[in-house]
Amino acid sequence: MEYNLSEIMEHCDPFVQFLKRMNKKTFFVRGSHKKNDNIILKGKHITSRKPLDIPEYIHDSLNSIYRLKFGWDVRGGIFCFAVFNIEDEIQDLSYGKSYIFLPVGEFRYCYASEIFDLYQHYLLFKKKDLENSDDKFINSIDYQNDNLDKIVFDDSYSNRSFEVMFDCEKYYLLDLSFLDELKGLIWNY
């Protein structure tokens, strides 16, 4: 299927407007095992996914807590990484080839800016104190669902990359070769 980048930008306009509000040229990146495609259009994500690494009790508990708070199962969302300086930071993720993520239409998100990867965060938490319980870990997570474009991308923010979960009906994954063209379309770069 042929895709036109201008049409993709129209389909993803709410997200493009969101990106424009950021004071850093930041993209969200997702891994995919489809390594030969330049543009991929994906449908609704499986919301009842089973965790690959994190204990299922933690996964399910976080979904229950944040379903009440945000209205969706955040651990069933589409996982991406917010990447500030994509040219310097990006490498192919352990989750497959890295692609630029663009949700189609309306979207929701949540994040905890101190977490690059929840499972790695969990391992560090347990390593600090073997007595740390899973319930204590769950209570230490503070996902946010607003101000990503204002607070996290503030010049004073020092973390480099972090995990963001998105909820949307469809999304595009664009090869990193589109980076310069996207910067021009989004920020007149």
pLDDT more than 90, % of the chain: 41
pLDDT of residue 170: 94
**Whole-angstrom Cα distance, residue 109 to residue 153?**
15
**Whole-angstrom Cα distance, residue 36 to residue 131?**
46
Domain ranges of the chain: 5-50+73-113+143-187
pLDDT of residue 9: 94
- pLDDT, one tens digit per residue, over 83-109 is 766 655 555 556 678 889 999 999 999
pLDDT of residue 58: 94
Kindly report the pTM of this predicted structure: 0.88
Instruction: Please name which of 178, 177, 38, 42 lies closest in space to residue 104, comparing C-alpha atoms.
Output: 42
pLDDT of residue 157: 52
- pLDDT, one tens digit per residue, over 155-188 is 555 555 788 999 999 999 999 889 889 988 888 8
Q: Which pLDDT band, with edges at 50, 70 and 90, does 149 fall under?
A: confident
Q: Check: CB of residue 70 under 8 Å from CB of residue 109.
A: no
**Amino acid at site 49:** R
- Phi-psi label, residue 179: left if phi above 0, alpha if psi -120 to 50, beta otherwise: alpha
Lowest mean pLDDT among 62-71, 84-93, 122-131, 175-184: 84-93
pLDDT of residue 39: 86
Range picked from 41-55, 72-86, 107-121 for highest mean pLDDT: 107-121
**Does residue 174 or residue 48 have the better pLDDT?**
174
Rounded to the nearest integer, the mean pLDDT of the chain is 83
